[in-house]
Structure 1
Amino acid sequence: MKSILVTFVFTLMYCHGNSQNYIGDQKEIDQIIMNSQNFSKDMMNSDHVKLGDAYTKDAKIFPNRTKIITGKEAITKFWKLPDGVQTAYHKIIPEEIEIVDNTAYDYGYYEGKTKKSDGSEVEWKGKYVIVWKKVKTQWKIYLDIWNSVNP
């Protein structure tokens, strides 16, 4: 009885501590996670062209406190940082990814740090929802919405 109770408590602690929920083919999930990691790398490299390539041609982004931006060209332009500004750190932390046929949704949190032209740094955190579409063999972002949360 004692060993069953210990096993139950251990299992409960493990399940509670592991808040990620991935539903779908693991190979497809891995590609979406890799795409998110590459997005962060491209963000830190200030590569707005690669950031734009992460989206479908008809994608839409919903930045905090702005109108919807539509189309890959406009989205690529959005990600171009002003001279002297750099994203020093960026990380996407998915809570859930679910794949249904050639569409997937992904939500969670993001965090980062921007280095401004005067040398100061600003830290930020927020939450996001992404709808992915499979284009040929690649997962691309179709809808991307995010907004900040208080630290």
Structure 2
Amino acid sequence: MKFTTTFFLLLFSSSLCFAQEYMGPKKDIDQILKNAKNFSEHIVDSDYEMILDSYTADAKIFPNNMEILTGKEAILKYWTLPESVSISHHKLIPEEIKVIGVEAYDYGYYEGTTKKADGSESSWKGKYVVIWRKEEGQWKMYLDIWNGVR
């Protein structure tokens, strides 16, 4: 009885530790994870050049409640914040990444905090799907869609 209880306790706790599922070459998964983390840092830093560099040349983004935005100019316009507004926190939390040749999909959750002109902050969270494409040896976002959750 004691063995059975211990076994099921270990099985249950190990499943909690490994909720994320990554499939594909480790070096590709590691680069996608690193690029996703860097993207969040670029958002917080308002580094628009590096945000754009995170996307493929023919990228498309699908912001919540908006039309599909295509190309670097539209993506730059979307991500450029007014001077009095900033993102103080942005994080991607992948649930699954699967590499299939030179493309990969990644889905999960995101969270963040916006600091407004009056100094107040608002936090937000949601879910996302990214289709990554390997361009010149680097994983970049080709399709990026997200929407909020309550």
TM range, normalised to the smaller chain?
A: over 0.9
Q: Deviations over 1:79-109 (max 9, x none)?
A: 1111110001111100000000000000000
Unmatched 5+ residue regions in structure 2? Answer: none
Alignment of structure 1 residues 105-144 onto 2, 5 Å: 105-144=105-144
- SS of the equivalent of 1:65 reads coil
The one-letter code of the counterpart of 2:63 is P
Cα offset, 1:18, TM superposition: 2.4
**RMSD between aligned alpha carbons?**
1.3
Q: d(CA) in 2 for partners of 1:121 and 1:147?
A: 19
User: 1:53·1:72 contact (CA, 8 Å) conserved in 2?
Assistant: no
Superposition map of 1:1-12 within 5 A: 2-3=2-3, 6-12=6-12
Percent identity, please. 53
Give 1:12 shift: 2.9
Shift of 1:73: 2.4
Q: Please tell me whether the aligned partners of residues 96 and 106 of structure 1 are also in contact (alpha carbons under 8 angstroms).
A: yes
2:149 matched residue in structure 1 = 149
After the TM superposition, which parts of structure 1 deviate over 3 Å for at least 4 consecutive aligned residues? 1-5
Spell out, residue by residue over 1:8-63, the C-alpha distance to the aligned partner (whole angstroms, 9 max, x if none): 43023211342100001111101000001001110000111110110001110000
Which residue of structure 2 lines up, in the alignment, with residue 35 of structure 1? 35
Within 5 Å, give how 1:46-125 maps onto structure 2. 46-125=46-125
Q: Does the CA contact (< 8 Å) of 1:52 and 1:73 recur in 2? A: no
Q: TM-score, normalised by structure 2?
A: 0.94
CA contact (8 A) 1:130 1:145 kept: yes
Q: Does 1:44 align with 2:44?
A: yes
Q: Residues 87-144 of structure 1, C-alpha deviation per residue, up to 9 Å, x if partnerless?
A: 0111110000000000000000000000011111110000000000000210000000
Query: Matches of 2:58 and 2:31 in 1, distance apart?
Result: 21
Q: Distance in 1 between matches of 2:56 and 2:120?
A: 34
- CA distance in 2 between partners of 1:34 and 1:96 (Å): 15
TM-score, normalised with respect to structure 1: 0.94
